[in-house]
């Protein structure tokens, strides 16, 4: 996953984790709300002043904000090394790290009996496939 995509994901994650709307975050870092929207959607790349202000607002390093912190990289390297997975796994891992409710649900799914779990997995696959078609 490229740094810009990681940044977009992290920006939205930290904004929502703090319970801030785009407008509230914009006020905190002294920009307009459309700037936050463009940063979250990738329409605009962050300049250094934005990265510094966001880093201060979220109390995280710039490296962490753009997904280049050592801990994340070591964890993803471990996943790649063990499973020799392609880059899409990093997006899934990053998503699960930032969505603990989804992680908890998947952990619960692991404790369901195999035949029931298969039915649940099939349902999830159909929902995701249908939502992908709808969004196209």
Q: Is residue 55 part of a domain?
A: yes
Query: What percent of the chain is predicted at pLDDT more than 70?
Result: 82
Residue pLDDT, tens place only, 33-63 = 999 999 998 899 999 999 999 999 999 889 8
Whether the per-residue pLDDT at 73 is higher than 50: the answer is no
Say whether both 103 and 57 belong to one domain: no
pTM (2 d.p.): 0.55
Q: Which two tokens stand for residue 83?
A: 């499973």
- CATH of residue 29's domain is 1.10.260.40
User: Would residue 15 count as lying in a domain?
Assistant: yes
Residue 48 contacts residue 92 (beta carbons within 8 Å): no
DSSP conformation class of 113:
-
Domain that holds residue 127: 99-135
Whether residue 70 lies inside any domain: the answer is no
Per-residue pLDDT, 136:
65
- Contact predicate 87/67, CB 8 Å: no
User: In total, how many domains does the chain have?
Assistant: 2
**Which tokens hold the place of 68?**
């280049």
- Report yes or no on 82 lying in a domain: no
Share the mean pLDDT of the chain. 82
- pLDDT at position 80 is 45
Q: How far is CA 75 from CA 1, 14, 29, in A?
A: 14, 20, 31
Please enumerate in sequence order all residues whose Cβ is within 8 A of that of 85, keeping only pairs 6 or more positions apart, or say none: 79
pLDDT at 51: 95
């Amino acid at each position: 996953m490229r740094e810009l995509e990681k940044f977009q994901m992290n920006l939205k994650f930290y904004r929502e984790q703090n319970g801030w709307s785009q407008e509230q975050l914009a006020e905190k870092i002294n920009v307009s709300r459309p700037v936050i929207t463009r940063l979250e959607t990738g329409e605009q790349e962050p300049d250094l002043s934005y990265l510094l202000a966001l880093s201060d607002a979220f109390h995280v390093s710039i490296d962490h904000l753009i997904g280049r912190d050592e801990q994340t990289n070591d964890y993803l390297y471990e996943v790649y090394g063990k499973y020799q997975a392609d880059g899409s796994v990093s997006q899934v891992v990053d998503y699960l790290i930032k969505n603990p409710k989804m992680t908890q649900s998947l952990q619960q799914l692991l404790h369901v009996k195999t035949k029931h779990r298969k039915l649940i997995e099939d349902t999830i696959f159909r929902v995701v496939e249908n939502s992908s078609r709808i969004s196209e």
